[in-house]
């Protein structure tokens, strides 16, 4: 069975995307429905800064189709505490609101910032404490985490390794450690040829039955959601 591509941007609440992506005059309450009419996933930004409240989650779910998926960035303070010895006590608090997304939760994105170097014991505690029924993706920013042993630990836990494409860096490898792959396309611009190249790289994973979550960085004028829409078109069945 062919996997699915879930593609969008980091956040959706950007009125400045009008008129390139949103229609002029689109109200704030109508931004997500307009976004979801053209894209099928969103990487939520505001959950990184504060835990999402139940009414907000209910609103996001009501504004989108049942096939739409949310990637939830784990709250910043809780993430740090969980990684530095507090996994067992922090993760139940951290993940409680994420369960309200139900099957609409694509994955939780757990970002491990650049100053944080590899620590196998802390990673093991995090993975052991993480609920098996909540899909987890880890984005390691420090080079010390780029190691086959780390990838093997993720694979044993069924956690996805986030690949991040940045300005000035070589395109990242796509490694399978979970039933899905996760890619953050964070360059400031992508040409048509670059989008086609990424489509060619993603296609074999989808053909093998893996889902793919791909998110472009937000920008100032709405080109990023248009690129996400183009990538969806390039990989349409």
Where do the structural domains in the chain lie, given as residue ranges? 5-234
Report the candidate in 141, 129, 131, 213 with the shortest Cα–Cα distance to residue 179: 213
Given this model, what pLDDT does residue 85 score? 84
Query: How are strands ordered across the β-sheet holding 5-9?
Result: 5-9, 211-216, 180-185, 160-165, 136-140, 105-112, 69-73, 41-44
Helices (H) and strands (E) in the chain, counts: 8, 8
- The angle at the Cα of 86, spanning 84 to 88, to the nearest 5 degrees, equals 135
CA 100 to mean position of chain CA atoms: 17
Output the pTM of the full model.
0.96
Question: Which has the closest alpha carbon to 163: 188, 150, 181?
Answer: 181
Write the pLDDT tens digit of every residue in 49-81: 999 999 999 999 999 999 999 999 999 999 988
Task: Report whether pLDDT(32) > 90.
Answer: yes
The predicted structure's pLDDT at residue 237: 85
pLDDT score of 215:
98
pLDDT of res. 22: 98
Residues 6+ apart with CB under 8 A from 71: 41, 42, 43, 44, 106, 107, 108, 109, 137, 182, 213, 215
Nearest one of 154, 159, 104, 150 to 132, comparing CA atoms: 159
What is residue 64's DSSP assignment? Answer: S
Band (193; pLDDT cuts 50, 70, 90): very high
**DSSP-assigned letter for residue 159:** P
SS3 201: helix
Residue 113 pLDDT grade (very low, low, confident, very high; cuts 50, 70, 90): confident
Band the pLDDT of 84: cuts 50, 70, 90: confident
Q: Which two tokens stand for residue 18?
A: 């009008």
Is residue 218's pLDDT more than 90?
yes
Considering the segment(s) 5-234 as one domain, its CATH architecture is Alpha-Beta Barrel (3.20)
Percent of the chain with pLDDT over 70: 100
Reported as half-sphere exposure (CB side, CA atoms, 13 A), residue 189 has a value of 4
| Better-scored residue on pLDDT, 85 or 13 | 13
pLDDT at 176 over 90: yes
Q: What pLDDT was estimated at residue 61? A: 98
Q: Mean pLDDT throughout 121-147?
A: 95
What pLDDT score was predicted for residue 11?
Answer: 97
- pLDDT bracket for residue 211 (50, 70, 90): very high
Beta partners for 140? Answer: 112
Say yes or no to pLDDT of 135 above 90. Answer: yes
pLDDT band at 83 (very low <50, low <70, confident <90, very high): confident
């Amino acid at each position: 069975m062919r996997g699915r591509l879930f593609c969008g941007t980091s956040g959706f609440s950007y009125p400045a995307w009008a008129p390139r992506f949103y229609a002029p005059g689109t109200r704030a309450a109508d931004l997500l429905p307009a976004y979801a009419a053209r894209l099928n996933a969103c990487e939520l930004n505001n959950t990184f800064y504060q835990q999402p409240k139940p009414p907000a989650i209910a609103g996001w779910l009501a504004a989108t189709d049942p096939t739409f998926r949310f990637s939830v960035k784990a709250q910043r303070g809780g993430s740090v505490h969980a990684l530095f010895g507090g996994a067992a006590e922090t993760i139940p608090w951290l993940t409680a609101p994420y369960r309200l997304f139900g099957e609409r939760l694509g994955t939780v994105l757990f970002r491990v910032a650049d100053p944080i170097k590899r620590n196998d014991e802390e990673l093991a505690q995090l993975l052991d404490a993480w609920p098996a029924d909540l899909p987890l993706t880890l984005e390691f920013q420090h080079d010390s985490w780029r190691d086959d042993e780390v990838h093997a630990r993720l694979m044993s836990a069924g956690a996805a390794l986030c690949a991040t494409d940045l300005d000035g860096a070589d395109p990242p490898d796509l490694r399978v450690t979970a039933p899905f792959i996760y890619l953050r396309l964070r360059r400031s611009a992508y040409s048509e040829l670059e989008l086609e190249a990424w489509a060619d790289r993603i296609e074999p994973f989808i053909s093998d039955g893996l889902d793919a979550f791909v998110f472009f960085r937000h920008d100032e004028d709405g080109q990023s959601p248009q690129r996400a829409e183009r990538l969806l078109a390039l990989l349409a069945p």
